Amino acid sequence: MAIADIFKDRAKSENWQLTDAGKLSQNMIVEADVIIIGTGAGGGVSAEVLSQAGLKVVMIEEGGLFTSDNFNMDELDAYGTLYQEGAGRATKDGAISIFQGRAVGGTTVVNWTSSFRTPTPTLDHWQKHHNVQGFSSDEMAPYFDQMEKRLNVSKWAMPPNANNDILKQGCQAHDWSWAVIPRNVKGCMDLGYCGMGCPANAKQSMLVTTVPEALKNDAQLYYRCSAERLVFSDHKVDSVECLAIGEDGHTPTGVKLTFKAPHIVLSGGAINNPGLLLRSSAPDPHERIGKRTMIHPVNASLARMDQTTNPFYGAPQSIYSDHFQWQTEGDMGFKLEVPPMQPVMGAQIMGLHGFKLADTLKDLSSMQSTIALMRDGFHEESVGGTVELDHGGKPVLDYPVTDYMWNGLRKAHSKMAELQFAAGAKSVMPLHHDATFYSNMKDCQQAINTLPAELHRHRLLTAHLMGGCSMGEDAKESVVNSQGRFHQADNLYVIDGSVFPTSIGANPQLSIYALALKQASALVKTIKQA
């Protein structure tokens, strides 16, 4: 059965206003009630809420418009077109790979659909330590309820694939807690290639939900349109200056677009938002922009199993364990999950080279990988990184790894290996340049204890970016208030995961959806009352 392409089927019949900035031949000025920069989890929800209120909304997206007809499940094609910097984004020193979407719908187009509410300990921490107001579990519950219904979030009902089932088996063997992951899907075909875009339109990303709804409500979308500068004057943003991007997705065409509106919303994410503010010389008297930029640093453990696992098929993530997330207040907590293991993604996770990589990939069909998502931002030695501009004005994340974090990463490696051996692994390799496969836990543990705690030797990556424009009521310690309004400008709002004061200790997309619904709804009231 053919899958209908939403944009081809509805754009003409509903008179959607879509503009490929890369095809424009002359400069232009666009006016609206609200300008939203970014169309991911924060921008997509904000666009729906604001357009439903009758406001004239313009969405600006740096990436291209790719729809179900474009998603061919080819890894090289997907990574080159759907991800920031062709899936080559990394921290300033190149030591931590960063997977972040760059397309209409943002990272929601390429994520693995895991949908968690913000853990209560995280919300409590924000209130106690960062002066965030209005974000208790009870206060957030209605927004989570609404977004879960809107995006069809529910626990995955099908049996886990082998990759996830091994995580479950290992937890059961050790009596560690585990649970089924809620996913934002409808009519999922269980293909396993979520990171390449969903050709079945089953993933309830912003591409197929809130962005089309906003367009139906007469919002406008400008894509391949890069926001370069906010023009500030008299404690407000006067305009947004943008550059049109050519068909290669990176090179400016020379055409300039200027957007003007009484209200500006930044939803470009935890690296791009601070980058735009820094390029714009935004007022920052307390030097908070770009500070406390958080990730979930991820390390991984690879296991050879006796059975065929085919870790590239089936729902990428369906089982998780928070057993070590909040266990000890002083230690860095972590969440256990698995990644999908298509060949290119598998090679990225392994971080191996040459013959060692080739030999390992030969056994891909019987491999299992477990990953640990480290909880960043809850300790004095875990304060995240800093977004700064490189010589070309592009944002980069300078992210130090402290001894405290190294201790957490080492503990996570141990627990992942214990889990894999308990689930029947023949051998296990903690992903490190100097490691090999170990046939028993004793040898593996000895290696984990002695492998050098050095960047570029440990294999580290992340797909979760948070902070950099952190919220709070104290302007000396935060960039925006609890409603997302920029402390230093009356008409500028930041609505996405970049306002999180810490990482959240869970996959962040549902947290961003609920936050965006809350803050965008508050913005509607502010506009209507003006």
* Per-residue pLDDT at 4 exceeds 90: no
Query: Residue 203: helix, strand or coil by DSSP?
Result: strand
Strands (E), 87-204: 96-98, 153-155, 179-180, 182-184
- Please give the Cα distance from 451 to 433 (Å, whole number): 9
**In which region does residue 280 sit, left (phi positive, over 0), alpha (psi from -120 to 50) or beta (all else)?**
alpha
Task: Render pLDDT for 176-204 as a digit per residue (tens, 0 to 9).
Answer: 999 999 999 999 999 999 999 999 999 99
DSSP-derived letter for residue 4 is P
DSSP label at residue 280: T
H helix and E strand count, the chain: 13, 24
Burial code (b: 16+ CB inside 10 Å, e: under 16) for 427-437 equals bbbbbbeebeb
DSSP tag of 510: H
Per-residue pLDDT band at 208 (split at 50, 70, 90): very high
The answer to whether the CB of 44 falls within 8 A of the CB of 105 is yes
Q: Are 497 and 42 in contact (CB under 8 A)?
A: yes
Q: Check whether 171 has a pLDDT greater than 80.
A: yes
User: Who's near 330: CB < 8 A, 6+ residues apart?
Assistant: 379
235 Rama sector, left if φ>0, alpha if ψ -120 to 50, beta otherwise? left
- Token pair of 98 as six digits: 């960063």
Instruction: Please state the rounded mean pLDDT for residues 407-416.
Output: 97
- Whether the predicted model's global pTM rises above the 0.95 cut: yes
Tokens for 4? 């209908």
Strand-pair partners of 231: 239
* pLDDT tens string 451-502: 999 999 999 999 999 999 999 999 999 999 999 999 999 999 999 999 999 9
pLDDT band at 345 (very low <50, low <70, confident <90, very high): confident
How much is the mean pLDDT over the chain?
A: 96
φ, ψ at 259 (rounded to 5°):
-115, 135
- For residue 217, give the amino acid letter: N
Domains of the chain: 6-65+103-111+116-150+205-272+485-529 (3.50.50.60), 157-184+297-387+403-462 (3.30.410)
d(CA 314, CA 337): 15
Residue 2: pLDDT over 70: no
Q: In the chain, what is the greatest distance between 2 CA atoms, to the nearest angstrom?
A: 68
Instruction: Report the alpha-carbon distance of residue 16 to residue 3 in Å, rounded.
Output: 20
Instruction: Tell me which of 128-132, 302-306, 351-355 is least confident.
Output: 351-355
Note the Cα 318 to chain centre separation in Å: 18
C-alpha distances in Å from residue 343, one per residue of 239, 242, 267? 44, 37, 32
* DSSP result, 370-424: EEEEE--SSBTTB--BEEEE-TTS-EEEE----HHHHHHHHHHHHHHHHHHHHTT
355-382 pLDDT, tens digit each: 888 888 999 999 999 999 999 999 999 9
Cα 255 to chain center, whole Å?
30
Tokens 């506009």 correspond to: 527
What pLDDT is stored for residue 329 in this prediction?
67
On the CB side of 376, CA atoms within 13 Å amount to: 28
**Under 8 Å between Cβ of 113 and 183:** yes
The two three-digit tokens of residue 503, written as one number:
């990482």
Confidence of residue 347 (pLDDT cuts 50, 70, 90): confident
Neighbouring residues of 375: CB distance < 8 A, sequence distance ≥ 6: 296, 325, 332, 333, 334, 335, 503, 505
3-state secondary structure of 355: helix
pLDDT score of 1 more than 80: no
What mean pLDDT do residues 84-93 have?
Answer: 94
Tokens describing residue 244: 């049109």
* Mean predicted confidence (pLDDT) in 375-403: 96
Two structure tokens written together for 385: 């990184």
Please, what is the end-to-end C-alpha distance for the chain in angstroms?
Answer: 50
Q: Token pair for residue 416?
A: 């992942």
Lowest model confidence (mean pLDDT) among 156-160, 329-333, 424-428: 329-333
CB–CB of 41/513 below 8 Å?
A: yes
Alpha-carbon distance of 202 to 184, in angstroms, equals 9
pLDDT tens digits along 11-64? 989 999 999 999 999 999 999 999 999 999 999 999 999 999 999 999 999 999
Q: How far apart are CA 276 and CA 61, in angstroms?
A: 13
Q: How far apart are CA 517 and CA 523, in angstroms?
A: 10
CB of 206 closer than 8 Å to CB of 198: no
